[in-house]
Structure 1
Amino acid sequence: MHITADDRLLFIGDSITDAGRDRTDPTSLGNGYVREIAQALRAEAGGAGPVPEVINKGVNGHRVYDLESRWTTDVVDPRPTVVTVKIGINDTWRRYDSQLPSPVAEFEDCLDRLLTHTRQKLSARLVVITPFLLPVTPEQESWFEDLAPRTEAVLRAARGNDAQLVRADLLLPGAAEASGAEALAPDGVHPSPRGHRLIAEAWLAEVMASHGHR
């Protein structure tokens, strides 16, 4: 299966997906990895040729439960052919800055429900981008106590629903070994332009290759 101009690619998640998009404009893609992917697809089409529709449904601050509350409207109703989900870091972050826990078992059940529901309602290909953290403070190092098992939960839910995986949790820490964490995510969470570009490149490599697309 190739990605063609007839495809509709929908991305949903938190601020990393949102990336400052204008929510009053349904065509706004923000300034992050979603826009990078759209630009790459446009360039591959020669700049003027037909390209897949790209939809950004990221909302800053959201946890997995927030995605569930809007899933039918924002994901099922638009009838996308490829659905990409990136969620999890806020479920960890809120535990530390707001004392708002998101138990990993409940988080996993919720994400699994969303992916399963999508498979039942749509014939869309599923893509899951793992959460990541590039600690820039000693305090953030402690977050891995919560994030590490949460990332494993994301992997289980994705694999259990035949989703393709973009391993941001491996990619970005690996890149940070050479460049430093702050070059890729100044606050440890939100990617820099270079960080977004790395995520976009990884998505394209995974999704295009699996579609047999070159």
Structure 2
Amino acid sequence: MHITGTDTLLFIGDSITDAGRDRADATSLGSGYVHEIARTLHEGTDGAAVPTVINKGVNGNRVYDLAARWTTDVIDHRPTVVTVKIGINDTWRRYDSGLPSPVDEFEACLDGLLAETTRTLSARLVVITPFLLPVAPEQKEWFEDLTPRTEAVLRAAAANGAQVVRADLALARAARTKEAAELARDGVHPSPLGHRIIADAWLAEADPRPLGQQGEARPDLG
């Protein structure tokens, strides 16, 4: 399946999705990967219809925060493609605030949200994995919590037929040739380059071909 001009793409998650969007402006996409995806999809359309893109990221959110606003921020918009990026705050709050998010409860909540969406909408589901690029020694211990949480994300995605964007792997590959801080200044929040890498990973997984040129192959978005 490919993205077309009749699609409504809704992105929901934490600050990585939010990326400074203006919440008073429903059309604001922020300056992160959502904006980059929308820009790429809109380029070269030559007047063809373009998909509607909605950003519902909220900084600081954990999976339970998504659950509290899922109806109003997802279901009510009737999107055709729903992308979820969540998990790093569920880990981070354990280490900086002592606020636990047990992996089994996290998985059950995410699975429930994906299942509800499948029941209510005929929408494609896309899940972006959480990631961490440690820039401080103490961040390395976060993987004790984040690794099983990422596995939980993958299980929830598989159980609900969601496509998976492995942002963790894409950024880890980039970190082989670049400093972690070049990709995410604090190990969590992407730089413009980091956001572009996530956007390209999403585009490669969602497999959009140039709008208005569905008979041609999608260009390499490398």
The equivalent residue for 2:199 is 200
Gaps of 5+ in 2: none
Q: Deviations over 1:138-174 (max 9, x none)?
A: 1100000000000000000001100000001111011
Q: Post-superposition shift, 1:101?
A: 0.4
The equivalent residue for 2:28 is 28
CA contact (8 A) 2:19 2:32 kept: yes
Matching residue's letter, 2:143: F
Q: Post-superposition shift, 1:50?
A: 1.9
The equivalent residue for 1:183 is 182
Task: Output the TM-score relative to the length of structure 1.
Answer: 0.97
1:16 aligns with 2:21: no
1:103 aligns with 2:102: yes
Query: Structure 1 CA distance, aligned partners of 2:114 and 2:100?
Result: 22
Query: Structure 1 CA distance, aligned partners of 2:11 and 2:44?
Result: 20
Q: Deviations over 1:100-135 (max 9, x none)?
A: 000000000000000000000000000000000000
Q: Give % identity.
A: 72
The equivalent residue for 2:37 is 37
The equivalent residue for 1:73 is 72
Number of equivalences: 213
Q: Deviations over 1:4-59 (max 9, x none)?
A: 1111000000000000000000000000000000000110313x432100000000
More helix per residue: 1 or 2? Answer: 1
Runs ≥4 residues deviating over 6 A: 210-213
Query: Structure 1 CA distance, aligned partners of 2:44 and 2:99?
Result: 44
The equivalent residue for 2:167 is 168
SS of corresponding position for 2:164? strand
The equivalent residue for 2:88 is 89
CA contact (8 A) 2:2 2:208 kept: no
Matching residue's letter, 2:111: D
> Which shows bigger deviation, 169-178 or 145-154?
169-178
Using a 3 Å threshold, how does the CA distance of structure 1 residues 209 and 39 change in structure 2: closer, same or farther? Answer: closer
CA contact (8 A) 1:42 1:49 kept: no
